[in-house]
Amino acid sequence: MTLSPEPFTDLGLDTRLVNVLNHLGLTTPTEIQDQAFPIIVSGHDLIASSKTGSGKTLAFLLPALHRLLTTKALNKRDPRALILAPTRELAKQVYEQLRTFTSGTDLNIALLLGGENFNEQIKVLRKYPQVIVATPGRLANHLTARSILLNGLELLIMDEADRMLDLGFAEQLNQINDAADHRRRQTLMFSATLEHAAVNDMANTLLKAPKRIAVGAAHTEHGDIEQRFYLCDHLDHKQALLQHILTTEPYQQAIVFTATRPDTERLANWLNAQNVSSIALSGERSQGERNKIMDSFSRGQHKVLVTTDVASRGLDLLQVSLVINFDLPKQAEEYVHRIGRTGRAGAKGVALSLVGPKDWEAFKRIEAFLQHSINFDHYAGLEAKFKGFRPKTRTQPKRSAHQAPSKSAVKSPKAAPKVVKAAKDRSDRHNHANSLGSSDGMAPPKRKKPSLQRSDEGEQDL
């Protein structure tokens, strides 16, 4: 993580916040914190992107709390600040940081998560918390039930906005926006990427003349994380590699990402049977169970957490020095989030990805997203026969025997340059594949049968 040269004390933060920073040994803001503070403190709306593990949470939490501690509430009963996060785990983690920084103040705070007792939350809301951290679905339910009013809201903060939109929370965000209609409301939107059409649409609706900050684009290399890719043939091969990695690579704790929920349980059980202490976390567990699992993992009771993308965002687990993509994520950006579970706060991390035939398309998307070609590593004795597929070339649609060739195909002089260009594009792609092939030592990939091509989708069926 990049730290700014100026210490926290130069930012003019409320002394109660500076005291907590001192207590935590945090002396210097990170780049995103340094850039975001003056914008937020001066009351502007903000849309910001920042790499995972860059200190994003404190980038909004500290100036937000500074504003609340140094100004009078617009309305005594309604919450003053609302922080929305896409997953319960992330919301909980933001809440923990909020609790740390409000401990020496008289700010009353609350956490509202889906899957937890609604009536208990109503009781909490009757105590008029000034700062609320919530998942959007549950907050919207409270609005519908009129157990919360947001007319006096001064700060609306959306963490991982792109993820909230990907998870289908656009309607709830609009509902929350409509309910929090104070003209002096300040809105902050944090997203892993600003190149997300839905995020930009939402920003146009929710933010007023926002300032923009992009610190480290999502695809930039994460210098603290060593990334390695391994080809593999099938599920058994993947498991053999997984076992080899978890028993030979050095690590404190590891997270293994799988494509499906059932695979989390299955693999965790299998790893336990191989004497690798593991626990599974998936979205289908109850909130209580999810909390227990995360608590026991973060207290170091298990070496390995096997999970789906539910745990890929935001979670700050400092003991995790190894991330393994047992299956590659469908979205390339998700890859960046997953590997960002390690290499946190300047620590070194290793991210290993297993690439089978069914991961190939996802692998090519990740390669395109990272904007460089990727070479494969191998473990002696565990090499794969699979060497990747050649890029698909567009085949001409078959013409039936009785169908005459189209006029343009026969002799449109204007069409000629296009044909040449298309041929050039194909040859460029081919050359790229060849250069990749030679750098990876790839054998010419087998010609694919149509059925094999379709089975590329969804490692989950393995």
Sequence-separated (6 or more) residues with CB below 8 Å from residue 122: 142, 145, 147
> Among residues 431, 443, 438, 419, which one has the least CA distance to residue 391?
431
Q: Nearer to ligand AMP by C-beta: 243 or 319?
A: 319
29 lies in the site for ligand AMP, by CB under 6 A: yes
Q: Nearer to ligand AMP by C-beta: 28 or 287?
A: 28
Q: Is the alpha carbon torsion for 18, 24, 25, 27 positive or negative?
A: negative
| C-alpha to C-alpha distance for 198 and 394, rounded to whole angstroms | 30
What is the pairing mode between strands 46-50 and 211-215? parallel
DSSP run (H or E) holding 322: strand 320-325
| C-alpha to C-alpha distance for 130 and 137, rounded to whole angstroms | 20
Give the shortest CB-100-to-ligand AMP separation in angstroms.
9
Which residues in the 256-315 window bind ligand AMP by CB under 6 A?
314
- Which of these ranges, 47-55, 130-138, 266-274, 350-358, lies near ligand AMP under the rule CB under 6 A? 47-55
Q: Nearer to ligand AMP by C-beta: 220 or 375?
A: 220
Give the shortest CB-281-to-ligand AMP separation in angstroms.
18
Q: Is the alpha carbon torsion for 414, 419, 422, 427 positive or negative?
A: negative
Q: Which two tokens stand for residue 407?
A: 């006029």
92 lies in the site for ligand AMP, by CB under 6 A: no
Give the shortest CB-133-to-ligand AMP separation in angstroms.
13
Sequence-separated (6 or more) residues with CB below 8 Å from residue 131: 64, 65, 68, 79, 80, 81, 82, 83, 98, 102, 107, 108, 109, 110
53 lies in the site for ligand AMP, by CB under 6 A: yes
Contacts with ligand AMP: how many residues (CB under 6 A)? Answer: 15
Give the shortest CB-101-to-ligand AMP separation in angstroms.
11
Give the shortest CB-160-to-ligand AMP separation in angstroms.
10
316 lies in the site for ligand AMP, by CB under 6 A: yes
> Among residues 354, 363, 379, which one has the least CA distance to residue 267?
354
Question: Which member of 54, 130, 187, 312 binds ligand AMP (CB under 6 A)?
Answer: 54
Question: Which member of 40, 46, 55, 343 binds ligand AMP (CB under 6 A)?
Answer: 55
> Among residues 342, 347, 354, which one has the least CA distance to residue 378?
354
- Which of these ranges, 48-56, 71-79, 174-182, 328-336, lies near ligand AMP under the rule CB under 6 A? 48-56
On whether the CB atoms of residues 190 and 160 are closer than 8 A, the answer is: yes
| C-alpha to C-alpha distance for 125 and 112, rounded to whole angstroms | 9
Burial 127-162 (b: 16+ CB within 10 A, else e): eebbbbbbbbbbbbbbbeeebbbbebbbbbbbbbbb
Q: Nearer to ligand AMP by C-beta: 54 or 308?
A: 54
420 lies in the site for ligand AMP, by CB under 6 A: no
- Which of these ranges, 26-34, 138-146, 287-295, 361-369, lies near ligand AMP under the rule CB under 6 A? 26-34
Q: Nearer to ligand AMP by C-beta: 3 or 74?
A: 3
Give the shortest CB-14-to-ligand AMP separation in angstroms.
16
Q: Nearer to ligand AMP by C-beta: 55 or 356?
A: 55
152 lies in the site for ligand AMP, by CB under 6 A: no
Q: Nearer to ligand AMP by C-beta: 345 or 419?
A: 345
Q: Site mask, ligand AMP, residues 327-346, x = CB under 6 A?
A: -----------------xx-
Question: Which member of 26, 139, 259, 322 binds ligand AMP (CB under 6 A)?
Answer: 26
The region that residue 103 occupies, defined by phi over 0 for left and psi between -120 and 50 for alpha, beta otherwise, is: alpha
Q: Which two tokens stand for residue 139?
A: 């907050």
Question: Which member of 36, 46, 49, 57 binds ligand AMP (CB under 6 A)?
Answer: 57
Question: Which member of 18, 36, 47, 58 binds ligand AMP (CB under 6 A)?
Answer: 58
Phi and psi angles of residue 364, each rounded to the nearest 5 degrees, phi first: -65, -35
Q: Nearer to ligand AMP by C-beta: 55 or 63?
A: 55
On whether the CB atoms of residues 159 and 60 are closer than 8 A, the answer is: yes
Question: What is the identity of the amino acid at 361?
Answer: E
56 lies in the site for ligand AMP, by CB under 6 A: yes
**Site residues (CB under 6 A) for ligand AMP?**
26, 28-30, 33, 53-58, 314, 316, 344-345
